[in-house]
């Protein structure tokens, strides 16, 4: 449920923050794409499976929830003012980025998630630049903006690693299960010589 609320907030708030706050900053080289960063960070957490009451995802459908998040956020970014480019360009790029992140980085360590986030951010930024140059006639130097790509890649890796390192919550008052039976019949998980679950 928490992931769904975060997804709705990403779709509604991130494009507004991008236009109102981030684009107004005077950063050297350009501005990071925080909508893309948010999609990359949240897509691995949107995998509906049997534990969430859904059907198990197999094959190409495994990243469907991440692709949907990317499409919705990209479409919101496409129509956010000033919408001076082809509508659907960012939706396509972010849909693919969400799909790849949901498939590749869901069960990895913080380092693996950061690496996947950096590669996907770089690929999505370059793909968006190529589409801008081909569809909108934007000059190649402005479309591929290396400074903006560097900001986006660095921020995506940092946020993805932070999401992976956040502590997992355990239900309050529950003791971890013990693994296997012991000879003494003790069910104490803190008994001598036992590992915690």
As a whole number, the mean pLDDT across the chain is: 79
Which residues of the chain, if any, have pLDDT below 70? 1, 47-62, 105-107, 168-197
The predicted pLDDT at position 150 comes to: 92
pLDDT, tens digit, 9 for 90 and up, residues 56-110: 556 556 678 889 999 999 999 999 888 788 889 999 999 999 999 888 866 678 8
Instruction: Identify the CA nearest to 18 among candidates 160, 161, 148.
Output: 148
Domains and CATH numbers, the chain: 2-165 (1.10.1760)
Q: Exposure of 20 by Cβ count < 10 A (0-12 exposed, 13-18 middle, 19+ buried)?
A: exposed
d(CA 80, CA 93): 16
Contact (CB, 8 A) for 121 and 36: yes
The predicted pLDDT at position 171 comes to: 47
The predicted pLDDT at position 143 comes to: 79
Q: How many CA atoms lie within 13 A of 67 on its CB side?
A: 11
């Amino acid at each position: 449920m928490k992931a769904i609320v975060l997804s709705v907030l990403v779709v509604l708030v991130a494009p507004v923050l991008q236009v109102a706050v981030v684009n107004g900053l005077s950063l050297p080289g350009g501005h990071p794409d925080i909508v893309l960063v948010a999609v990359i960070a949240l897509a691995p957490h949107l995998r509906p499976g049997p534990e969430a009451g859904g059907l198990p995802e197999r094959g190409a459908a495994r990243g469907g929830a991440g692709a949907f998040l990317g499409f919705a956020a990209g479409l919101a970014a496409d129509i956010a003012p000033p919408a001076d480019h082809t509508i659907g360009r960012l939706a396509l790029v972010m849909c693919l980025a969400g799909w790849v992140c949901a498939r590749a980085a869901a069960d990895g360590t913080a380092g693996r998630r950061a690496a996947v986030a950096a590669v996907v951010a770089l690929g999505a930024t370059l793909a968006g630049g190529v589409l801008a140059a081909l569809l909108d006639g934007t000059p190649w130097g402005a479309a591929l903006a290396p400074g903006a790509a560097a900001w986006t890649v660095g921020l995506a890796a940092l946020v993805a690693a932070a999401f992976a390192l956040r502590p997992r919550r355990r239900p309050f008052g529950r003791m971890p299960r013990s693994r296997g039976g012991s000879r003494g019949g003790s069910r104490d998980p803190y008994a001598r010589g036992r590992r915690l679950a």
